[in-house]
């Protein structure tokens, strides 16, 4: 995109589909970088089946409609997005979810150097949340764009940090709205053998047993209590990290997620 621009990139995609004639075009939507007539042509004029994966459906449903309506199948990580499309008559919708790429995110048995670590951009209420933890003597280290003394974290650095933290903190609020959002770190951090401290929600309970495989909190004050407790009970913390790690490998890898999508496509 940066090198050629939207039009050239769109033409490169069209050419690749004609040249390779793939069974499936799998597309993760972030920004609107492909010309819509290209998606329309591939989806409805060619034998290639098109699949779009949407990860921010709870606040971008209408914004991304002009894109996802051009695809044969939609995969959403938001259950209400699935139900809303089906109510509209768009039946070709699949419920997916984030997971852990276990070929990349691995437990490296490194010495844990940080008690509590948070990786992510600074926005919304995140600053106030972190400040509450620090004011209550929770030793939390933050990494990511917008935080003082930090910058954007590379994927290699992210893998390293997950292996250096005893507890990985997830602030589940989305960029917009008040929805509690399941995020990649909910699976990647446990996949590196790190104990996960994440916001309690009905959604997260679909994937873990709180108190056994992960640690959940209801608000910043509860996060303070949970962090102090588990940092003072190291063996319990290690047990949570181990059980979370085993659950990810057994049920929550991205390989499994994609295979589930393909299995539904075959039906």
CATH (domain of 73): 3.40.50
Whether 132 and 49 share a structural domain: no
Query: Does some domain include residue 259?
Result: no
Nearest-angstrom CA–CA distance, 267 and 259: 13
Q: Are residues 121 and 231 in the same domain?
A: yes
Closest alpha carbon to 55 in 169, 179, 216: 179
For 192-253, where are the alpha helices, taking DSSP H only?
220-232, 234-251
Both 11 and 136 in a single domain?
Answer: no
Point out the residues of the chain with pLDDT beneath 70.
174-178
> Does residue 62 belong to any structural domain of this protein?
yes
DSSP assignment of 170-190 equals ---B-SSSS-B---THHHHHH
Question: Which pair of tokens denotes residue 231?
Answer: 């940092």
**Residue 187 near residue 170, CB atoms below 8 Å:** no
CA 243/CA 98 separation, integer angstroms: 19
> How far apart (Å, rounded) are the C-alpha atoms in residues 86 and 81?
9
17 and 45 housed in the same domain:
yes
Same domain, 37 and 119: no
Q: In what order do the strands lie in the sheet with 93-95?
A: 24-28, 49-54, 73-76, 93-95
Give the Cα separation of 199 and 195 in Å (integer): 13
Going from the C-alpha of 39 to that of each of 3, 114, 165, 190, 202, the distances in angstroms are: 21, 45, 42, 36, 35
- The CB density around residue 26, as the number of other CB atoms within 10 Å, is 16
Residue range of the domain that includes 204: 114-251
Q: What is the pLDDT of residue 205?
A: 93
Residue 153 in domain: yes
Cβ-proximal residues to 122 (8 Å cutoff; 6+ apart), any chain: 142, 144, 145, 146, 147
Domain for residue 49, yes or no?
yes
Element holding 260 (H helix, E strand): helix 254-266
| Same domain assignment for residues 123 and 92 | no
Token pair for 200:
């309690």
- The pLDDT of residue 178 is 66
Mark whether 153 and 236 lie in a shared domain.
yes
The encoded tokens of residue 160 equal: 């390293």
| Whether residues 194 and 78 fall in one domain | no
91 and 121 assigned to the same domain: no
- 134 and 231 in a common domain: yes
Q: Are residues 62 and 121 in the same domain?
A: no
pLDDT at 267: 82
Burial of 85 (0-12, 13-18, 19+ CB in 10 A): buried
- Looking at residue 172, its pLDDT comes to 80
Last residue of a domain, one of 96, 125, 144: 96
CATH label of the domain that carries residue 119: 3.40.50.2000
Q: What is the DSSP letter of 18?
A: H
Strand locations in 29-139 (E): 49-54, 73-76, 93-95, 114-119
Distance from C-alpha of 138 to C-alpha of 225, rounded to nearest angstrom: 9
In-domain check, residue 107: no
| DSSP bridge pairs for 175 | none
pLDDT at 124: 84
Same domain, 127 and 242: yes
| 261 assigned to some structural domain | no
Is residue 262 in some structural domain? no
Burial (CB count within 10 angstroms: exposed 0-12, middle 13-18, buried 19+), residue 24: middle
**What is the domain count for the chain?**
2
CB 127 within 8 A of CB 171: no
Residue 199 lies in a domain: yes
């Amino acid at each position: 995109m940066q090198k050629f621009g939207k039009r050239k990139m769109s033409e490169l995609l069209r050419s690749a589909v004609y040249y390779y004639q793939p069974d499936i075009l799998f597309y993760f939507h972030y920004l609107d970088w492909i010309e819509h007539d290209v998606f329309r042509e591939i989806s409805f004029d060619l034998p290639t089946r098109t699949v779009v994966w949407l990860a921010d459906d709870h606040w971008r449903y209408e914004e991304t409609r002009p894109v996802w309506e051009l695809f044969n199948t939609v995969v959403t990580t938001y259950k209400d997005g699935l139900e809303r499309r089906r109510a509209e008559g768009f039946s070709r919708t699949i419920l997916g979810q984030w997971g852990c790429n276990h070929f990349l995110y691995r437990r490296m048995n490194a010495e844990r150097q940080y008690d509590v670590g948070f990786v992510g951009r600074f926005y919304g209420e995140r600053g106030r949340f972190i400040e509450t933890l620090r004011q209550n003597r929770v030793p939390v280290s933050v990494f990511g764009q917008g935080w003082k003394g930090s910058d954007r974290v590379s994927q290699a650095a992210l893998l390293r940090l997950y292996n250096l933290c005893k507890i990985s903190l997830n602030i589940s609020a989305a960029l917009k709205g008040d929805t509690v959002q399941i995020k990649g770190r909910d699976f990647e951090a446990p996949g590196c053998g790190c104990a996960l401290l994440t916001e309690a929600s009905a959604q997260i309970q679909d994937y873990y047993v709180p108190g056994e495989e992960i640690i959940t909190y209801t608000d910043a004050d509860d996060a303070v209590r949970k962090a102090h407790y588990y940092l003072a009970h190291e063996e319990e913390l290690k047990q949570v990290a181990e059980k979370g790690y085993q659950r990810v490998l057994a049920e929550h890898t991205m390989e499994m997620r994609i295979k589930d999508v393909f299995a539904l496509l075959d039906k």
